Amino acid sequence: MTEHPLALAVNGRERLLADRLIAFEPRRPERAESVVVVGLGYVGLPTACALQSPTAQVTGFDISEDRLRAIKTGEVDLPEPERRALSASLAAGMLELSCDPSVLADADAVIVCVPTPVDAAHKPDLTALRAACETVVSFARRGQVIILTSTTFAGTTRQLLVEPLAQRGLQVGTDVHVAFSPERIDPGNFDHVQRETPRVVGGATAECAERAAEVVRRMTDSVYLVSSPEAAELTKLYENIFRAVNLALANEMADACAVLGLDPIEVTIAAGTKPYGFLGSFPGPGVGGHCIPCDPHYLLWQLGQQGLSTPVIEQAMRSIDRRPGQVVQRVVELLAEAGLDHAGARVLVAGVSYKAGVRDLRESPALPILAGLRRIGIDVHYFDPLLPEITLPDGTRMTSEPAPHGRDWDVAVLHTVHPGVDYGWARECPQVLDATYQFDAVPHRRVL
């Protein structure tokens, strides 16, 4: 390994981090190394693909046979080039798939990538993670490196891996090596590929960190070591809490701009010309995905157990939760301005995934928006070629409109604008609510 210096500005002071940010020289292992990725969802599958190399046998393990069939047939949310590469890897045997947990016993390294959502009360739901870790521990053997990547509260790695392994008689740091390395995957964004994105690693011991870094470096050119799994766990939460607070602020600034008759996108871009001290976000209809709507609640829950209040984070999350309701209210206002009763009005929501260019519906603001519009009697439909069928939280199933005609709708709500999709029909809609703030192809559009 060679040191790789990096200077970061922290609280206005330059800080050299060469002692913890390390770059790895290419090396030739004496034997092929086997890696098992546990969980093949939106994080696990890209992780398994990134780990492939001539010197590593990668196996993807998932308890869902339906998911494994989807991967084998290419029915997964990956860009076309990555989908072709996945197909080639499966055909060549560089990536194997299994629902048999016994594959864990033969692995040199195990990487856990399972979902960690929150329940209806915004409490952490570790059901999948607990089950995965129990399985990993039961098959663990001496010499293995076990890395947890799933976002969670500080102390989880120690609670679900280190302590159970010790109960099995496996000394962490000697017999097995355990670390936490939070995922950093940005779906649909080709500017942030895994190879060029640094990864944080926190080991249960210094040797654990070094051994885990050797595995993680297969996916990235830079690994930053922290002192413990807890430090790495909190790092991930801090990253997403920062984003949540920033997005809540962006939405509030958009509301302020509406009152003042200004364009929030113009103001945000102008503020972003400052080369220091400003990191802006664009407003929108809400916040979706598997990270920002969920992860901050892991810290809020943990600190709540300790009696600590965090008002900035709490207020940001309340603001984020309210945003879809503001979209619903704005639709009602636009209908009233047009002299229409909202009961029975026809409204089309365009784009329902949480992010442009992906088929990911998790925590999408479109779901509470659709449910809210239905609840007040609006005849609501949606259009999204990437998601032909969806299910609302109350179990209602909906099917995407195949070819919308603008004049068929009283209001069109632009929620997610996918690249390569024709939205020309929106110009014919009498009322267009642009919840993205960036769709200027319709001169008569309105914003929140």
What is the domain-level CATH number for residue 219? 3.40.50.720
Does one domain contain both 221 and 293? no
Convert the pLDDT of each residue in 402-425 to its tens digit.
999 999 999 999 999 999 999 999
Does one domain contain both 306 and 431? yes
290 lies in some domain: yes
Does one domain contain both 294 and 210? no
293 lies in some domain: yes
Boundary of a domain, candidates 192, 227, 262: 227
273 lies in some domain: no
Contact by Cβ (8 Å): 251, 228: no
pLDDT attached to residue 431:
97
Does one domain contain both 222 and 296? no
Structural domain of residue 50, as residue ranges? 22-227
400 lies in some domain: yes
196 lies in some domain: yes
Q: Is the pTM of this model over 0.75?
A: yes
Which among 373, 223, 350, 237 is positioned nearest to 299, based on CA atoms? Answer: 237
Catalytic residue among 208, 257, 291, 429: 291
pLDDT attached to residue 188:
75
Residues 6+ apart with CB under 8 A from 13: none
pLDDT attached to residue 19:
61
pLDDT attached to residue 77:
83
Q: Scan for tokens 């492939």, then name that residue.
A: 52
Boundary of a domain, candidates 208, 227, 246: 227
Does one domain contain both 339 and 407? yes
Question: For the chain, what is the domain count?
Answer: 2
State which residues of the chain have pLDDT below 50: 1-10, 12-14, 16, 25-31
Does one domain contain both 198 and 90? yes
pLDDT attached to residue 192:
83
pLDDT attached to residue 439:
95
Sequential DSSP letters for 15-57:
EE-TTTEEE------SS-EEEEEE--STTHHHHHHHH-BTTEE
pLDDT attached to residue 189:
77
* Known catalytic residue at 99: no
